[in-house]
Amino acid sequence: MEERARWRRRADFIFAAVGAAIGLGNVWRFPYIAFKYGGGAFLIPYFVALLTAGIPLLILEFGLGRMMQAGAPAAFAKVRKNFEWIGWLSLFAVMLIFFYYTVIMAWCWNYVVFSAGFAPKLEVAQETGHLKYVWSSVNIREWAARSEQFFKHDFLRLTSGPGHLGHILWYVVIGLAISWLWSFFYVRHGPVSIGKEIYFTVIIPWIILVILVIRGLTLPGAIKGLNYYLTPNFAALKNPETWLAAYGQIFFTLSLAMGTQIVYSSYLERRTDVNNNAIVTALANCGTSFFAGFAVFSVLGFAAQALGVSVPEVTKGGLHLAFITYPRIISMLPAAAVIGVLFFILLVTLAIDSQISQVEPFMCGFMDKWRIDRKKILPIVVVCGFLVGLIFATRGGYYWVDIIDHVTCDFGLTLVGILEAIAIGWFFGAPRWAGLTGIGVIVLIIIMSFVLMKLKGREE
């Protein structure tokens, strides 16, 4: 049998695991979820979820991968033959994620170009007299001043709803192709041979983040945003949706329940310690999210002060935060183009190692099961990922990004996480009461949220 690949040093493994964890989830998803659930109010369930699910499951996944020396489906199959499907379920979840994750990356590539001053602009065509979009040099201040219009109409040309996809946007396709090609060259020889590049794509975003935090904190009104971010609001804790979102975010951000951490740790020697590695990875990741919160909320505070409104009135959250609110605020600052370019480069460099960490477990599932060679399976995954991604690159794709993100993270990952914990805990004989209490609480949260959403739906 072929010898299993090995990390060359402990640092390589930690950088890969941290790189998988730190991604769009920290700078785009965390602040917007925190914002949606009341800023400071969200931090409490977030840290509870980190301690009760994040760190224990990370240790469990690292331990499982190291012990079984295989990707998720094969690792579960080695625990017990009929657990294999849990592994496949996690690969299904990660597949859904990489389909849309690369499209958000594609938008970021587009926004790097827009920030640098080249964007679509509505003009009257001379021949026909009709309005049409022409690509020309457009200063960031110009388009970002009407950033919502720009994002929805000039850039995404949104259709009326998810049922209506419309045509494919060629410039998003270019971004999508760049993201997939980049990841192809990155994992061609396997993650363990990536070497120095991964240090760059983990460290560069950190440097940019520090610059953005300093910029944010030195703006007038920053404190207003930080107050919103850091003051707990205990009333919001009564909302079960907040708790579910916190658990979903912890799974997403630590790349849990998706086979990623299992496959990375399967390249560790059997004797390596996993507890410390898990704690370092979790703290580095959640520390980054917390830090990124300063960059985002300080800038929101600045906008709130400049516009004379309260912080929650500045943005609607969701995809709005990165692509609408942030550019608009950046355009009010000196050297707007530089900050805009930096911000979107931050996002793509953050995202790349997360993306490869989504492709790796998926491929490894097939490689382990059918002994397929990496060289054969990688191009197939890349081409299929690109082709399915085209659905999200249509005019109605935006709606689907939002829907799939919500469903996979809040329900899919939490569910796979619970199954993992039950399967492994039960099999290796964790005290039943401990497992059951934990599971009970999580199941309760899910049911309560379902009920709540139903009730809300009926009210509207």
Residues that bind ligand PHE (CB under 6 A): 20-21, 23-26, 94, 97, 252-253, 255, 258, 260, 354, 357-358
| Min dist. Cβ of residue 413 to ligand PHE (A) | 9
Residues 371, 372, 375, CA angle at the centre, nearest 5°?
140
Closer to ligand PHE by Cβ: residue 32 or 171:
32
Structure tokens, 432: 């039943």
Structure tokens, 57: 């499951």
Closer to ligand PHE by Cβ: residue 143 or 252:
252
CA dihedral 61→62→64→67, nearest 10 degrees, is 180
Closer to ligand PHE by Cβ: residue 115 or 281:
281
Closer to ligand PHE by Cβ: residue 117 or 412:
412
Return d(Cα 85, Cα 81) in angstroms, integer: 9
Structure tokens, 299: 């800038």
In this structure, are residues 280 and 269 in contact, taking their beta carbons and an 8 Å threshold?
A: no
Q: What are phi and psi of 41, to 5 degrees?
A: -60, -30
Using Cβ positions, the residue closest to ligand PHE within the complex turns out to be 25
Closer to ligand PHE by Cβ: residue 23 or 120:
23
| Min dist. Cβ of residue 27 to ligand PHE (A) | 9
| Min dist. Cβ of residue 445 to ligand PHE (A) | 21
| Min dist. Cβ of residue 412 to ligand PHE (A) | 11
DSSP string, 282-294: HHHHHHHHHHHHH
Give the Å distances, CA to CA, from 361 to 56, 132, 328.
Answer: 20, 44, 38
For 216, residues 6+ apart whose C-beta sits below 8 A from its C-beta are 222, 294, 295, 296, 297, 298, 299, 302
Contacts by residues 181-190 (CB-CB < 8 Å, ≥ 24 positions apart): 181/382, 182/352, 183/102, 183/352, 183/355, 183/356, 183/359, 183/382, 184/378, 184/379, 184/382, 186/352, 186/356, 187/356, 187/359, 187/360, 187/363, 187/378, 188/374, 188/378, 189/374, 190/5, 190/374
Closer to ligand PHE by Cβ: residue 242 or 249:
249
| Min dist. Cβ of residue 312 to ligand PHE (A) | 24
| Min dist. Cβ of residue 345 to ligand PHE (A) | 16
Closer to ligand PHE by Cβ: residue 156 or 263:
263
DSSP state of 333: S
Helix then strand then coil, % of the chain, to nearest 5: 75, 5, 20
| Min dist. Cβ of residue 78 to ligand PHE (A) | 22
Give the Å distances, CA to CA, from 403 to 396, 406, 456.
Answer: 12, 5, 18
Closer to ligand PHE by Cβ: residue 97 or 336:
97
Closer to ligand PHE by Cβ: residue 260 or 394:
260
| Min dist. Cβ of residue 223 to ligand PHE (A) | 28
| Min dist. Cβ of residue 350 to ligand PHE (A) | 7
Give the Å distances, CA to CA, from 354 to 58, 76, 194, 198.
Answer: 16, 23, 14, 11
